[in-house]
Amino acid sequence: MSTGADALTDLDDEQLAAVVVALGGKRFQARQVAHWLWKHGVEDFDDMRNVPQRLRDALRQRHRLRNSRLRAADLAADGTEKLLIELPGETDAPDTVECVIIPDGERTTLCISTQVGCPVGCVFCASGMFGVRRNLTSGEIAEQVLVARARLPAGRRLTNLVVMGMGEPMLNLDALLPALRRIHDPDGINLGARRITVSTSGYPRQMERFSEADPSYNLAVSLHAADDELRRELVPTASHSVAEIVDAASRYFGRKGREVTYEVVLLRGRNDRRIDAQALVDRLRQTPCTVNLIPWNPVEEIVATRDLARPDDHRVDAFAALLRQGGLNVTVRRQRGADRSAACGQLRLREA
């Protein structure tokens, strides 16, 4: 089975230079190839116009340009567009992941995936329903930006990136970190690190490693509940306590100076009660942070089998008010693309 490791997008600058030099090219030509790949997003070797034909042919014989291709796109009435990306894999059942383009005024955010499926298995999430099939390679992670960028209308450009699609980013750091470097590289896609946010369900050791990355990205932590027992019901594989996770996030803030966002997916009657708000206030009052409330986006397949529901707006507002009274900064995520299976992992379920 091909894993996509022979695509040029999987190579960092040094590896690309080694490939080009081994094929008789010069180092500066590797730089040119990287430009065509990442800055211009070419999809054919012959579009690398200033690269000599001989080198283009030699590269083509040994490498693919990219791993993935767009298989389906689904545009919601509010402009949110969900892309289903096909990755190399078994031909009868190729692996797929999703990314989502979210236009919002001047801003255009792209949400990307890091794994095919997810091993964490949060009870409310479509991505975790069937476990994880495999990690994405660094090229596959970064290519989502190329595919999405090519779909933007003239005059629109990507302004923000969130790693909040399928998968647990901290469990694929080996591929994520080089992919983010590519996405950040001023000579390539050129997205500022302050505009890049990685969301995790809470892996302290990996968060520590993430904090060593240069440049400094934003960190979001999916907390969902401040009480350990309740959190374990929602995130059944969680092996770290809330205290350990919050400590790790605070260390991130200490090291990077970047305020952490805590995400709380709100489920009616499960974690949206008065005592749940109070527990969050008690736990987070001392840490500089923002709490982002995300009313659950119902997943048909989950609603059918588990007793979960989305709280109505006034319950969400009441919860937000309790957190604010307790001194926390709170934002509430507005529903985007709600008419088209907008929660992560849902388009893949439909197309599977």
Contacts with ligand SAH by CB under 6 A lie at 122, 124-125, 164, 168, 199-201, 222, 263, 265, 294, 296-297, 299, 343-344
Residue from 121, 178, 204, 337 that binds ligand SF4 (CB under 6 A)? 121
Applying CB under 6 A, the span of 12-20, 42-50, 93-101, 125-133 interacting with ligand SF4 comes to 125-133
- Mark whether 344 is an active-site residue: yes
Q: Which of 8, 51, 118, 293 binds ligand SF4 (CB under 6 A)?
A: 118
Chain positions 168 to 227 lying near ligand SF4, rule: CB under 6 A, are 168, 201, 222
Nearest to ligand SAH of 122, 277 (CB atom):
122
Best CA proximity match to 63, nearest among 142, 18, 9: 9
Q: Which partner from the list ligand SF4, ligand SAH, none does 234 bind, CB cut-off 5 to 8 Å by kind?
A: none
Please identify which of the residues 81, 208, 344, 351 carries the catalytic annotation.
Answer: 344
CB of 73 to ligand SF4, least distance (A): 21
Give the Cβ contact number of residue 301 at 10 Å: 14
Token pair, residue 181, equals: 């470097």
Task: Tell me how far, at minimum, the Cβ of 319 lies from ligand SF4, in Å.
Answer: 19
**Pair of tokens at residue 40:** 């211009």
Closest CB to ligand SAH among residues 265, 347: 265
- Which of 81, 98, 140, 263 is labelled catalytic? 98
Packing angle, helices 173-184 and 204-211, rounded to 10: 30
125 part of the interface to ligand SF4, by CB under 6 A: yes
φ, ψ (nearest 5 deg) of residue 74: -135, 110
Report in angstroms how near the CB of residue 37 gets to ligand SAH at its nearest.
Answer: 26
Q: Which does 299 bind (CB under 5 to 8 A by kind): ligand SAH, ligand SF4, none?
A: ligand SAH
- The residue ranges that bind ligand SF4 (CB under 6 A) are 118, 120-122, 125, 127-128, 166-168, 201, 222
Known catalytic residues are: 98, 344
